[in-house]
């Protein structure tokens, strides 16, 4: 009897040890945390334009320790913030994921729709309308949704950005939270789509009033102003916009003097990037991201680079100083990840939602062809001439509803009611816009297959066309041209197919990532499938990209 008990006890102990060992060895190796950084309006060449001035701990660390995909492009037009963030995280395109712009005209009812607006939810942390947002307009899953599905929703997923669309769209439909900045209060807020009340740590962070601290600072150059050799001279009013209460775009900028009744001015300072990183660090600590055996995901978008780019343009000292400051903020954030999650225990990627053009006046002053096309600001007055032409021929007014996202939108109910021939109307519209200065092509989107277009333009146009949310005629401008007139002559913008808008940085570093560079052509749509391959989970359900095999280590064992 004693022998039998002894044998049974030995068997149980051996089985327990074997089970424990098997459980340990069969655990699927994954990083503790994935961090996605999107720098809004970051041209690829900013990695090298200011390279010599970067420290070794920010952008250079990503370049030297990680993997850089040097020729990564956006595969669609138009190139705007909401589409870029959606495409990075879905691996899809507007034709499939449904985000056809920051705003678009709903073709079934003619209503303008903002990408993340949702009247069924309410703000949490504010009474502002800025809180009535959710990801419901996004039709596809994101890589963060797929991580949630793969871990039976045990992974934590959090999105953070000044812009609601930069915080919401990357983390998809099943995120634990998305937070964005509220101009009315100067706080980080969310909506009832995610929760009914802000977590205590978010309330505590808001109560610190870091935004007030940053708004009391004057923005001066971080280094002696004469050392900014990669930029035009300070005070270049032909190319740079100014703050409202300043005489010109001149350092130092007194932020407090330009403040209005709310806290919106922080967006147009480099301190907003610092504030965003402050909040991201707080989320890592308070949500214990990367602190257990289940992979978490933090998606952070740096938005002030876009506001400042629009205001000052890519050749300004303001932009050079912004990226030097961002480099320091990035270095501090990477150091924070090393300490909290562990060096080599997290995977991080950095990219951009789009780039930006050189200011066309700056280009023309330097004998480079460029221009402003005044026919696409989206105002009703801009379509009056074409509507007058059509009214004379068809005896019907307001046939064109709107000119938006470089697309002509038609008034379909009116055309149907009057029994007009849409194909003939399109021919007239195309002929009208083809005659305008700065226009390269005017495309009938529903008949694009038979039109003589370069392949690169054709594929980008098809990928960006969503029948329910896009116009029916696409306008493509000459290189160096973009929409704008009058007060839009300073600074810059984006939205076109050209490399300055579509060539974006793509850097990976950390767990499971090789060190190196590649000049092979990749696309924004490849990011999500690369992360899916790294994590060994399913790609998002609208994904059209392919994993970048060069990036991933062959053996994904524990680092």
Distance CA 437, CA 448 (A): 22
CA distances from 85 to 62, 81, 208, 308, 469 (A): 21, 6, 29, 19, 17
Name the 3-class secondary structure at 213.
Answer: helix
Phi-psi region of 97 (alpha: psi -120 to 50; beta: other; left: phi over 0): alpha
Candidate list 72, 79, 81, 492, residue with the active-site label: 81
φ, ψ for residue 372 (rounded to 5)? -105, 130
Pairing state of beta strands 218-219 and 253-254?
A: antiparallel
Query: Could you tell me if 357 and 482 are in contact, meaning their C-beta atoms sit under 8 angstroms apart?
Result: yes
Helices 317-337 and 271-286: crossing angle in degrees, nearest 10, is 10
Query: Could you tell me if 376 and 437 are in contact, meaning their C-beta atoms sit under 8 angstroms apart?
Result: no
The tokens describing 29, both together, are: 């190796």
Distance CA 414, CA 486 (A): 33
φ, ψ for residue 72 (rounded to 5)? -110, 130
Give the DSSP per-residue string, 367-404. T---EEETT-S--GGGGHHHHHHHHHHHS-S--EEEEE
Query: Could you tell me if 522 and 515 are in contact, meaning their C-beta atoms sit under 8 angstroms apart?
Result: no
| DSSP letter, residue 339 | I
User: Nearest to residue 108, comparing CAs of 315, 411, 428, 344?
Assistant: 411
Tell me: cis bond preceding 556? Omega within 30 of 0 counts. Answer: no
| DSSP letter, residue 55 | -
User: Nearest to residue 209, comparing CAs of 132, 250, 263?
Assistant: 263
Query: Could you tell me if 479 and 457 are in contact, meaning their C-beta atoms sit under 8 angstroms apart?
Result: no
396 is a catalytic site residue? no
Name the 3-class secondary structure at 236.
Answer: coil
Tell me: cis bond preceding 252? Omega within 30 of 0 counts. Answer: yes
Could you tell me where the DSSP H helices lie in 120-183?
143-150, 164-168
Catalytic residue ranges: 81
């Amino acid at each position: 009897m004693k022998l039998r008990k002894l044998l049974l006890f030995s068997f149980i102990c051996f089985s327990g040890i074997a089970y424990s060992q098997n459980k340990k060895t069969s655990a699927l190796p994954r990083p503790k945390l994935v961090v996605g950084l999107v720098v809004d309006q970051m041209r690829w060449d900013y990695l090298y334009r200011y390279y010599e001035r970067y420290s070794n701990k920010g952008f250079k660390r990503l370049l030297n320790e990680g993997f850089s995909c040097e020729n990564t492009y956006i595969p669609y037009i138009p190139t705007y913030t909401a589409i870029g963030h959606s495409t990075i995280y879905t691996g899809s395109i507007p034709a499939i994921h449904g985000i056809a712009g920051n705003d678009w005209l709903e073709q079934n009812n003619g209503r303008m729709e903002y990408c993340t607006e949702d009247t069924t939810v309410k703000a949490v942390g504010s009474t502002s309308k800025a809180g009535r947002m959710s990801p419901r307009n996004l039709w596809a899953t994101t890589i963060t949704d797929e991580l949630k599905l793969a871990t039976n929703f045990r992974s934590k997923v959090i999105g953070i950005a000044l812009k609601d669309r930069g915080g919401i769209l990357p983390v998809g439909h099943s995120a634990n939270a998305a937070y964005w900045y509220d101009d009315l209060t100067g706080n980080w807020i969310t909506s009832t789509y995610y929760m009914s009340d802000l977590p205590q740590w978010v309330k505590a962070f808001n109560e610190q009033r870091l935004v007030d601290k940053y708004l009391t600072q004057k923005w001066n150059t971080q280094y002696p102003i004469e050392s900014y050799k990669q930029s035009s001279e300070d005070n270049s009013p032909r190319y740079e916009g100014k703050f409202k209460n300043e005489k010109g775009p001149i350092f130092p900028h007194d932020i407090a003097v330009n403040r209005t009744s709310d806290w919106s001015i922080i967006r147009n300072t480099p301190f907003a990037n610092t504030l965003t990183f402050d909040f991201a660090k707080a989320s890592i600590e308070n949500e214990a991201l990367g602190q257990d055996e289940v992979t978490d995901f933090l998606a952070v978008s740096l938005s002030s680079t876009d506001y400042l780019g629009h205001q000052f343009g890519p050749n300004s000292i303001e932009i050079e100083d912004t990226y030097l400051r961002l480099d320091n903020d990035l270095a501090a954030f990477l150091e924070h990840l090393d300490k909290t999650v562990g060096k080599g225990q997290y995977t991080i990627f950095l990219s951009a939602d789009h780039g930006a053009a050189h200011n066309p006046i700056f280009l023309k002053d330097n004998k480079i062809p460029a221009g402003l096309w005044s026919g696409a600001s989206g105002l009703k007055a801009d379509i009056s001439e074409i509507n007058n032409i059509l009214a004379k021929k068809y005896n019907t007014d307001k046939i064109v509803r709107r000119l938006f996202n470089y697309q002509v939108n038609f008034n379909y109910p009116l055309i149907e009611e009057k029994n007009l021939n849409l194909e003939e109307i399109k021919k007239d519209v195309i002929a009208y816009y083809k005659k305008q200065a700065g226009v390269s092509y005017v495309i009938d989107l529903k008949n694009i297959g038979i039109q003589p277009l370069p392949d690169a333009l054709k594929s980008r146009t098809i990928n960006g066309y969503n029948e329910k949310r896009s116009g029916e005629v696409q306008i493509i401008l000459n290189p160096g041209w973009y929409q704008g007139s009058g007060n839009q002559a300073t600074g810059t913008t984006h939205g076109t197919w050209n490399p300055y808008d579509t060539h974006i940085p793509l850097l990976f570093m950390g767990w499971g990532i090789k060190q190196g560079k590649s000049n092979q052509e990749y696309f924004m749509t490849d990011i999500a499938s690369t992360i899916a391959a790294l994590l060994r989970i399913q790609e998002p359900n609208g994904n059209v990209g392919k994993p970048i095999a060069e990036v991933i280590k062959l053996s994904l064992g524990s680092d």
